[in-house]
Amino acid sequence: MSATDLTSTQTETVQTLPLPLTCANCRSELKPTFSFCPDCGQSTEPKVESFGMVVKEFLEDYFSFDSKVFRSLLPLLFRPGFLSIEYIQGRRARYIPPLRMYLTISLLAFLMLAVNKPSRLQYQSDSQEISSTELEELKHDIDEDYAARDQENDIITVEDAFWDSFFDSTLPKLFFVMVPLYGLIQAMLYWRQRRYYMEHLIFSLHFHSFVFVVLLVYMLISSYLLAGMAFLNRTLMLTFTGGILLYLYFALKRVYGQNYFKTSLKFGLLLASYTITFILFCLIALFGYYSFR
């Protein structure tokens, strides 16, 4: 092979080598086999090609809609305390972070509560099975009665407005206070174990996430399958409440590792403290509403 041919072959080889790739976000150098930038984590996909890609990115970023959902929700529902132990022991990457899980599930629960907020009039019509004509007459009578009560500054109208505001606005804020407070109560009950407060807070986030999942399931069943069936609704509510209490008991037993007697004792103290604190905050909200309305 002549020198001219060798030079020509080398030139062609150089020209066919792939040019260096760079991340569109941080301009770091990438290899052709990279699917994500090793520095900033952004996908190397060059452009948005479909609406499905936008939806997928939204679900992954804000709702962790990937395999983590199934690895997190199933233990959350059926293995009390498991996710808290996994997180505390450092096995975290495979699961949805506790705070993100709580914020996402609680947001869905309160949105569902706002959408399916039952009115007192709807409950009466379902339970008494009155006709549509009677329902319209009842609406008219109630509107006139409320108008008269408004003119007289009757307290019943104020109470109705308070409870609407409570479920739509106050209750979500109240739970954001109760979650860290619940962790503080647990820290005081288990102070001998010398755990960090964050461990108790992780437990609180997982437990309240479970409570909101149960609330979501209850609202779906109550609103779309058992609408107007007051007895079955009450039975379902009592069943789910009992399930939440059992879940809490076994979660405490699993995470803190104490015997049944100590777990039962602290379960009772925790439940009493939480209930009293929750009622106290509700009374404060009620007092503030009447004082500053």
Whole-angstrom distance, CA of residue 100 vs CA of residue 220: 23
Residues of the chain with pLDDT under 70: 1-20, 45-66, 116-170, 288-293
81 — alpha (psi -120 to 50), left (phi > 0) or beta?
A: left
Whole-angstrom distance, CA of residue 232 vs CA of residue 255: 34
Residue 209 · residue 98 · CB < 8 Å: yes
Q: How many helices (H) and strands (E) does the chain have?
A: 12, 2
pLDDT at residue 62 in the model = 58
Phi, psi of 31 (to 5 degrees): -95, 155
Q: CB-based contacts of 38: which residues, under 8 Å, 6+ apart?
A: 28, 30
| Half-sphere exposure (Cβ direction) of 271: Cα atoms closer than 13 Å | 15
- Where along the chain do its domains lie? 80-117+162-292
Confidence (pTM)? 0.67
pLDDT at residue 124 in the model = 43
Q: Do strands 29-30 and 21-22 pair parallel, antiparallel, or not at all (unpaired)?
A: antiparallel
Of 214, 199, 220, the closest CA to residue 247 belongs to: 214
pLDDT at residue 291 in the model = 66
pLDDT at residue 88 in the model = 92
pLDDT at residue 260 in the model = 95
**Could you read off the pLDDT of 85-116 as tens digits, one per residue?**
999 998 888 899 999 999 999 988 888 877 76
Of 237, 123, 112, the closest CA to residue 172 belongs to: 112
Please give the DSSP secondary-structure letter assigned to residue 89: T
Whole-angstrom distance, CA of residue 293 vs CA of residue 290: 6
Beta strand ranges found along the chain (DSSP E) = 21-22, 29-30
Residue 184 · residue 197 · CB < 8 Å: yes
Q: CB-based contacts of 290: which residues, under 8 Å, 6+ apart?
A: 158, 162
Q: How far, CA to CA in Å, does 257 sit from each of 45, 172, 251, 260?
A: 47, 32, 10, 9
pLDDT at residue 123 in the model = 44
Token pair listed for 182: 């619940």
Residue labelled with tokens 């964050």? 198
User: What is the three-class DSSP state of 40?
Assistant: coil
